[in-house]
Amino acid sequence: MSHCHDEHHHHGHDHSEGSAHDHTDDITPALQNHVYEPIDFSAITTLNEAEPQSGAKIVQKTWMERMDQEPELNSDADEQLLMHIPFTGQIRLHSILLRTSTTSHAPMTLKLYLNREDLDFSTASSLPPTQTLELAQTNEIQEIGVKRALFNTVRSLDLFFEDNWSRGEEDVTKVSYLGFKGEWMKLSREPVNFIYEAAANPGDHKMASGVGEKLGSDIGGAGGRDGV
């Protein structure tokens, strides 16, 4: 397929709403292992989006806003979308959360690529994905599980929405919510199995050592200590 996409480059925007994320509902089963805090919202890019930054905005929706129709991501020149989502921590990805619609504008095939910084439509179309997901045609929240063994060290994730349910009849693909479930650790220069820095001040650490305890404290959402 020949693409004439405009590659919209990111212009800085305020994502203070993300810092005001309401955690009062995080104890519910639906939000266990919900990954939100470590998403680098300001660095999200979406190729072929009709409205600049609309891709970032649907990721920035909180769980409480997941059923809101707006903002919505629409494709522009054709039905394909390519999103690059970087994280500020290392993610162990469990599943993708997605809300589309019951219409032919709903995406049908989603290809995932792990830790790539060089993807464009041409590369994504020829490169074998880390995993391919088949999406449902529904306006409910879909939770699509990934092969966890392949997504244990996610620093960035590219999502290639390759087609939609119109099967070539509609040029516009629409997505209204995108989220993630998993576990995460804050990135540091030390190996992940070390808790203390080489020259750490013992007074700075109130914790009684233990990798599991440290990991659990850095995992977003409830249920982060289940070790899966």
List the CATH number of the domain containing 91.
2.60.120.470
Phi, psi of 55 (to 5 degrees): -65, -45
CB 165 within 8 A of CB 108: yes
pTM of the entire structure? 0.71
The pLDDT value recorded for residue 37 is 93
The rounded average pLDDT for each run of 10 residues, N- to C-terminus, in the chain (228 residues) is: 46 41 47 89 98 98 96 97 96 97 97 96 96 97 97 97 95 97 77 48 48 42 43
Q: How many domains does the chain have?
A: 1
Residue 49 lies inside a defined structural domain of this protein: yes
pLDDT of residue 73: 98
d(CA 203, CA 200): 9
**Interstrand relation of 174-175 and 73-74 (parallel, antiparallel or unpaired):** antiparallel
pLDDT given for residue 32 in this prediction: 72
pLDDT value, residue 101: 96
Supply φ then ψ for residue 149, to 5 degrees. Answer: -65, -25
Per the domain annotation, does 149 fall within a domain? yes
Determine the Cα–Cα distance for residues 176 and 100; give it in Å rounded to an integer. 6
What pLDDT is attached to residue 187? 67
Quote the domain boundaries for residue 65: 31-184
What pLDDT is recorded for position 214?
41
Q: E strands of the chain, at which residues?
A: 34-35, 45-47, 73-74, 81-99, 107-114, 131-134, 142-145, 154-164, 174-175, 177-186
pLDDT the model gives residue 20: 44
219 inside domain: no
